Structure 1
């Protein structure tokens, strides 16, 4: 069975993104995270991407990634661009999912459970948002990779803010520390 691997950037004060509609663009990970993106960061991201053969994305992450990656080239960008993407959204239409993407239709939890049963490598899920509530609630995430950045943002959306699911206990499986100060904690369900 394939694994769902969740990868999320988190500030020291638990911020994962700006609020929608945006009230603090400084809270967007591309703003506060970029100063720490170095060779260690790139190598770890590549390890995750090359261990997967598909991406699972919510609408917001999908739209941001499609804009950022579709015009890039090079080995890593080619991998990102060519991987199949599965997008969970209640607002996008199938015709709006370009960039080698398919819109998940119907019950998202059921569709993702079916994806996990298909042969293949890991399915990598970037970003944390509304989709994660469903994934955690239904026990569909096999590994969480929380990238803790040495920055305090002060405003924005917190990790699993308003999640609404029961307490979920995790077991620390690995820790990766980078020279930039980023520490990636890998957790698995207990």
Structure 2
């Protein structure tokens, strides 16, 4: 069973929307505009790229990343060459970019569950708040890689859904606090099959 890892930048109050500066959001760019950059903070991002063997995205994150990441040949070299999967009920194969390697459209979280049963290494999810909620609610997430920024952003898409569901226990397996106030927290989902 392949491990499914959700990776996110999040504020202390759980907002994950627009960390890099996407338009249309009041606090856009909060990861770099409001917190001093400390290179050590992003070590986990390099490690993720080295360890992941597939990238899983929701439609909106795919549409945001696909025009940009293929041109970032140094920063995203591994992501650009690994297989990518986009979960969408509306995206058509003909709408996929042609310069980003192998891309497969999955139509549901059931398709993600089947993907997890295939041979291969970890599958990583970036962005994709709506997809992350669906994966969590379907008990498909095995691990969370979180960079928690010392900010309260208020409005915005949240990392975790507000669904009324049974509690999910997490096991903290890695933690580090950086001088800029950012904390790295890596949690395994207790009882998850791929953990």
Check whether TM > 0.5: yes
Contact 1:16 1:27 in 2 (8 A): no
Aligned length: 182
Residue segments in structure 2 that go unaligned for 5+ positions in a row: 191-195
Q: Quickly say closer, same or farther: Cα 1:128–1:179, change in 2 above 3 A.
A: farther
Structure 2 residue 166 is the aligned partner of structure 1 residue 166: yes
Match of 1:84 in 2: 83
Match of 2:26 in 1: 26
Return structure 1 stretches of 4+ with deviation > 6 angstroms: none
Cα offset for 1:124?
Answer: 0.7
Tell me, yes or no, if structure 1 residue 54 matches structure 2 residue 57. no
Mark the CA change 1:38 to 1:72 in structure 2 (over 3 Å): closer, same or farther. Answer: same
Alignment of 1:36-185 (within 5 A): 36=35, 37-74=37-74, 76-98=75-97, 99-100=100-101, 101-105=103-107, 108-185=108-185
- CA deviations 1:113-148 (Å, max 9, x no partner) are 222222211111112412122211221111011210
**Greater helix fraction, Structure 1 or Structure 2:** 1
Identify if the C-alpha distance between structure 1 residues 27 and 94 changes in structure 2 by more than 3 Å, giving closer, same or farther. farther
Instruction: Mark the runs of 5 or more structure 1 residues left unpaired by the alignment.
Output: none
1:186–1:4: structure 2 CA closer, same or farther, 3 Å change rule? same
Question: C-alpha root-mean-square deviation of aligned residues, in Å?
Answer: 2.2
Go from structure 1 to structure 2 and tell me whether the alpha carbon gap of 1:165 and 1:91 turns closer, same or farther (over 3 Å shift): farther
Render the CA deviation track for 1:136-175: whole Å, top value 9, x for unaligned.
1221111011210122223322332433543322222221
Structure number with higher strand proportion: 1
> Structure 1 pair 164/56, CA: closer, same or farther in 2 (3 Å)?
farther
TM-score (normalised: structure 1): 0.84
